[in-house]
Amino acid sequence: MINFIGTYDCKADAKGRIMLPVALKNQMSPILNKGFVIKRSVFQPCLELYPMDEWNLLMQKMNKKNRFKKKNNDFIRRFSAGVKIVEIDATGRLLIPKNLVEIANISKEVVLSSAINIVEIWDKDSYEKVLEETAEDFAALAEEVMGDDGDDGDGIS
């Protein structure tokens, strides 16, 4: 499992290509040859870039869902809508498919934000707006999500 680190400001060209920052490309170097999957986010107006191994793990979990339950089938359809396999080219550029550029409202200014094992791809204005909207509630959210529920004594604080 890979854990990405960092948030990077980038620029997208008219064709939807983003030059990956060297620091992020270096983190991806062990997995570059396996490819990536890009999809729309479930909760936010951004895209998610999955290393192929991470995507395959997620698909194993999804494949266990009973497809004879309508809500499962509807979820799988919506979740996989617009999913594309992408590669990082030899010059370190990522080409975002046009329909996904439109879905995430990506313009020239882009933010690549690590989210543990995936990279979120945001229009810069949207990213800053979401950070601003959630700033006040972050302490309460941190307590709720990371508080002592199921504390395994790992010392993380």
Q: What is the pLDDT of residues 41-63, one digit of tens each?
A: 999 999 999 999 999 999 999 99
pLDDT (average), residues 32-49: 95
Give me the numbers of helices (H) and strands (E) for the chain, helices first please: 6, 8
State whether the Cα torsion 117-121-126-129 is positive or negative.
positive
Q: Are strands 109-115 and 118-123 parallel, antiparallel or unpaired?
A: antiparallel
Closest among 21, 34, 37, 18 to 122, alpha carbons compared:
18
Q: Using one digit for the tens of pLDDT, what is the confidence trace for 55-109?
A: 999 999 999 999 999 999 999 999 999 899 999 998 999 999 999 999 999 999 9
Domains of the chain: residue spans and CATH:
7-145 (3.40.1550.20)
User: Position 20: which residue type?
Assistant: L
Banded model confidence at residue 25, pLDDT cuts 50, 70, 90: very high
Closest among 122, 78, 124 to 101, alpha carbons compared:
122
User: Position 52: which residue type?
Assistant: M
pLDDT the model gives residue 3: 93
Higher pLDDT, 140 or 93: 93
